[in-house]
Amino acid sequence: HPIKKDSKIRYNHRYACMRHSPLLCPNQGLVERLAILRRHRELEGLDMQALSYERAISVIKAFPHHIIADNIHEVSDLPHIGQKIRSKIQEFIQHGDISECKNVLSETRYRSSVDFTAIYGVGPVTARKLYSSGLRTINDLEKHYEVSPQTNDDIANNLSQGYRLVSSTTGLPQLSIKVGLALREELSLQIPRSEVEEIHDVVMNELAHIRSGCVSTITGGYRRGKAESNDIDIVVSHKDLKCGGDQVKGLCAKLVKRLYDQGLVTHVMHMSSFREHDTLRTTHWDSLEKALAVFILPSHGKEQKHVHRRLDLIFAAPEVYWTAVVGWTGSKMFERDLRLWAKQEKGMKFGSSGISRLHDSKLYFPKSEREVFELLDLEWIHPTLRNA
Ligand code: TTP
Ligand code: MN
Ligand code: MN
Ligand code: MN
pLDDT of residue 152: 52
ipTM of the complex: 0.94
pLDDT of residue 136: 98
Task: Note whether 226 and 359 are same-domain residues.
Answer: yes
Q: State how far the Cα of 223 lies from the Cα of 200, in Å rounded to an integer.
A: 13
Task: Note whether 53 and 116 are same-domain residues.
Answer: no
Task: Note whether 273 and 374 are same-domain residues.
Answer: yes
Overall domain count for the chain: 3
pLDDT of residue 244: 85
Please state the rounded mean pLDDT for residues 371-383. 98
More confident residue, 72 or 149: 72
378, 341 Cβ separation under 8 angstroms? yes
Ligand 1, atom 17: closest residue by C-alpha: 330
pLDDT of residue 160: 47
Task: Note whether 91 and 129 are same-domain residues.
Answer: no
Active-site annotation holds for 88: yes
Q: What SS3 state is found at 294?
A: strand
Query: For residue range 2-15, what is the model confidence (pLDDT) as tens digits?
Result: 677 789 999 999 99
Beta bridge partners of 354: 351
Band of residue 282 on the pLDDT scale cut at 50, 70, 90: very low
Query: For residue range 328-364, what is the model confidence (pLDDT) as tens digits?
Result: 999 999 999 999 999 999 999 999 999 999 999 999 9
Please state the rounded mean pLDDT for residues 44-54. 98
pLDDT of residue 165: 52
pLDDT of residue 4: 77
Q: State how far the Cα of 33 lies from the Cα of 99, in Å rounded to an integer.
A: 10
Q: How many residues does the chain have?
A: 388
Q: State how far the Cα of 147 lies from the Cα of 180, in Å rounded to an integer.
A: 10
Catalytic residue among 8, 61, 84, 88: 88
Query: For residue range 156-204, what is the model confidence (pLDDT) as tens digits?
Result: 554 444 445 566 666 676 678 888 999 999 999 999 999 999 999 999 9
Please state the rounded mean pLDDT for residues 300-315. 92
Q: Which ligand is nearest to the CA of 312?
A: 3
Exposure string for 50-63, b = 16+ CB within 10 A, e = fewer = bbbbbbbbbbbbbb
Q: Which ligand is nearest to the CA of 198?
A: 4
Protein residues whose CB sits closer than 6 Å to any atom of ligand 1? 220-221, 226, 229-231, 233, 312, 327-328, 330-332, 335, 352
Ligand 1, atom 25: closest residue by C-alpha: 328
pLDDT of residue 166: 65
The domain that holds 215 is classified in CATH as: 3.30.460.10
Domain endpoint, select from 187, 217, 236: 187
Kindly state whether residue 277 falls inside one of the protein's structural domains: yes
Give the mutation target among 54, 191, 234, 328 for probing the ligand 1 site: most ligand atoms within 8 A of CB: 328
| Domain boundaries, position 178 | 108-187
Please state the rounded mean pLDDT for residues 62-76. 96
Please state the rounded mean pLDDT for residues 91-119. 98
Q: Which ligand is nearest to the CA of 304?
A: 4
Long-range contacts of 91-99, Cβ-Cβ distance < 8 Å, separation of 24 or more: 92/29, 92/30, 92/33, 93/67, 93/68, 93/69, 94/69, 97/33, 98/33, 98/34, 98/37
Task: Note whether 296 and 233 are same-domain residues.
Answer: yes
Question: From the CA of 257, how far away is ligand 4's center (Å)?
Answer: 21
pLDDT of residue 156: 53
Task: State which ligand 1 atom lies nearest to the alpha carbon of 233.
Answer: 2
Give the mutation target among 332, 336, 352, 385 for probing the ligand 1 site: most ligand atoms within 8 A of CB: 332
